[in-house]
Amino acid sequence: MSTDPLKLTPVEGIKARSDYLRGTLAQSLADDVTGAIADDDTQVSKFHGIYQQDDRDVREDRRRQMLEPDYQFMIRARVPGGVCTPEQWLTMDAIARRWANNSVRITTRQAFQFHGVLKHNLKSSIRTINRALLDTIAACGDVNRNVMVTTLPEQSAFHREVFEHAKSFSDHLTPNTTAYHEIWLNDGNSRRKVEASRDSEPIYGETYLPRKFKTAFAIPPRNDVDVFAHDLGYIAIRDGAEGGLAGFNVTVAGGMGATHGDPNTYPRLADVLGFCTPDQVNEVGKQIVSIQRDFGDRTERRHARFKYTVADRGLDWLHDELEKRLGYRLQQAREFSFTHTGDLYGWQRTDDGLWNLALFIENGRVADKGIRHHLTGLRKIAKIHKGEFRLTPNQNLVIAGVHESDRVAIDHLVRAHGLDDHATVSPLRLNSMACVGFPTCALAMAESERYLPELVCKIENLLEKHNLTDQGITIRMTGCPNGCARPYLAEIGLVGKGPGMYNLHLGAAWDGSRLNQMHQENIGEEEVLISLDKLFSAYSAKRLDKEHFGNFLFRTGVIAANESHRNQKENAS
């Protein structure tokens, strides 16, 4: 870690000066002649779960109109494991309609996202989220983000047990600062904290982590969380097939983000480091976070994720450093196997005799549009539902814990509001996922959420042509290379490069154990379709029984054997 303050990134300076995440947010909120907050505060606000964005569709118009960009905010509410109550759902629904753009966005990290919130509505929105016993702190920023858990539609008790560990870890890693309460929740004007109760951050320190940090808990055989895409992962291991929780395999140093044209940045699959017992979860995680805090690169944000810290130093170093901090070495990793990264749709009877219903929500956007009245339908369901909701890592929704006797009523509402896509749309669409992208995301280079549904239609036609309609294929699109929708783990990945242009990635494993490879760079729709047409033709003719598309491409050498970037890097050093 560089300690030379001259070389630190500007964001490090902003964090250091922010006085535990205060910055000048209070003043920025009070300045009512601009819809924006001060530049430095746009970094600080992320730690509070708030991104400043603007409606990029009207950016150019507004420049000519001599108006500032149409600033608005994305608010991300943290929902550990994606588990929330019907009351919380109703609150989110109300916020969406009152202060946001009439939609709730379920994210790839099982969080709620609101878009289009104006500055003067931020406080009300955040207070309302907190009144519903959810929060937004650390939903973004250089901290441990929303902790994910496999939604596991078929095993209730085991899910609950793993979820409790995830929730406990999430709480353990939540920042300590009182700035969040002070700015958003206190009555009246934001007051300076009392001098006596000086903030401290025993885990993070006052500059927090060098970069965001992502944690997921996976429950085999389902890998819906894409556990290898995270900085830190816990794979639940049972004592025998039906036994209780023995502990977790710990995975480290995965991550999606890359930058176009910078070969020093790359997506990386996590390594399985070892095994820990349930009581060791928080301590192991905390020490791994502290290693990243101390060794992560604070001079270059592109190189600041934990995956680079580990890739640069090697797994042996990490083992040793972790042992030094823990006082013990992790046990040998246990056996496990995954089947799929997607969701199991429809009704599933759970081991406790209740029912779970997994609904397909295209790209996680819950809104009323066309024949689909998802926002209204789910509001009505939330009013009668007695169990819980689970947001899935694929941006879908599970209505969990339904009594047999309540299924009819829920089925009725599902059909009446067009929420039954899971029963009607193609397996390709059911395994599709796009990030938000235009018009709100500042990073988007190409369309994603607004475009993927249309592209899927065209690919469906190709699949039909090759008699592959019933074949599930994971397809993911992002508007930029940062990887919010985990495009590098899709059998077909489309990574935005410019308006209408994408890098076509192919060949990831159906179970999330192999990254895809870039097949063609910077191509438009027509070329994408031509390439897929050829490959589908070969796949249809030469695939083995039940062979998935990505595995086929890999086996037949269309996608070169690739040991993932980390090994190139490690071999080179």
Burial of 455 (C-beta count, 10 Å sphere; 0-12/13-18/19+) = buried
Size of the site for other proteins (CB under 8 A): 16
Q: Which is nearer to other proteins, 63 or 198 (CB)?
A: 63
Q: Tell me: does residue 118 bind other proteins (CB under 8 A).
A: yes
**Type of residue found at 172:** H
- Nearest distance, CB of residue 53 and other proteins, angstroms: 14
Query: Which of 78, 105, 145, 497 is the catalytic position?
Result: 145
CA nearest 261: which of 59, 428, 495, 9?
495
- Nearest distance, CB of residue 123 and other proteins, angstroms: 12
**Given the structure tokens 């929730």, which residue do they identify?**
167
Q: Tell me: does residue 383 bind other proteins (CB under 8 A).
A: no
What is the per-residue binding string for other proteins in 475-504, x denoting contact by CB under 8 A?
A: ------------------------------
- Nearest distance, CB of residue 66 and other proteins, angstroms: 5
Q: Catalytic annotation on 415? A: no
What is the number of helices (H) and of strands (E) in the chain? 19, 22
Contact yes or no for 320/362 (Cβ under 8 A): no
Q: Catalytic annotation on 84? A: no
Q: Tell me: does residue 241 bind other proteins (CB under 8 A).
A: no
Q: Tell me: does residue 133 bind other proteins (CB under 8 A).
A: no
Q: Catalytic annotation on 484? A: yes
Query: Which of 441, 476, 497, 514 is the catalytic position?
Result: 441
CA nearest 351: which of 81, 151, 150, 153?
153
Q: Tell me: does residue 65 bind other proteins (CB under 8 A).
A: yes
Q: Tell me: does residue 70 bind other proteins (CB under 8 A).
A: yes
**Given the structure tokens 């140093």, which residue do they identify?**
253
According to CB under 8 A, which one of 2, 5, 59, 67 is a site residue for other proteins?
Answer: 67
Q: Which is nearer to other proteins, 62 or 238 (CB)?
A: 62
Q: Catalytic annotation on 457? A: no
Q: Which is nearer to other proteins, 64 or 192 (CB)?
A: 64
Contact yes or no for 553/507 (Cβ under 8 A): yes
- Nearest distance, CB of residue 36 and other proteins, angstroms: 9
Q: Which is nearer to other proteins, 73 or 552 (CB)?
A: 73
- Nearest distance, CB of residue 27 and other proteins, angstroms: 13
- Nearest distance, CB of residue 69 and other proteins, angstroms: 9
Q: Tell me: does residue 68 bind other proteins (CB under 8 A).
A: yes
Q: What SS3 state is found at 474?
A: coil
What is the per-residue binding string for other proteins in 25-64, x denoting contact by CB under 8 A?
A: -------xxxx----------------------x--xxxx
Q: Which is nearer to other proteins, 67 or 530 (CB)?
A: 67
Q: Catalytic annotation on 192? A: no
- Nearest distance, CB of residue 133 and other proteins, angstroms: 27
Query: Which of 214, 372, 486, 566 is the catalytic position?
Result: 214
Q: Which is nearer to other proteins, 32 or 195 (CB)?
A: 32
Contact yes or no for 257/238 (Cβ under 8 A): no
Contact yes or no for 26/37 (Cβ under 8 A): no
- Separation between Cα atoms, residue 416 and residue 406, nearest integer Å: 16
Q: Catalytic annotation on 465? A: no
Q: What SS3 state is found at 490?
A: coil
Q: What is the DSSP string of 226-285?
A: -GGGSSEEEEEEESSSS--EEEEEEEE--B----TT-TT---BPPEEEEEE-GGGHHHHH
Q: Tell me: does residue 66 bind other proteins (CB under 8 A).
A: yes
- Nearest distance, CB of residue 9 and other proteins, angstroms: 24
* Cβ-proximal residues to 50 (8 Å cutoff; 6+ apart), any chain: 73, 74, 75, 76, 122, 126, 136, 140
Backbone torsion region of residue 118, taken as left when φ is above 0, otherwise alpha when ψ lies between -120 and 50, otherwise beta: beta
The alpha helices in 75-173, defined as continuous H runs, are: 86-98, 122-131, 156-172
Locate 111 and state its tokens: 């969080």
Q: Which residues are part of the catalytic machinery?
A: 76, 145, 212, 214, 435, 441, 480, 484
List residues near other proteins by CB under 8 A: 32-35, 58, 61-68, 70, 118, 120
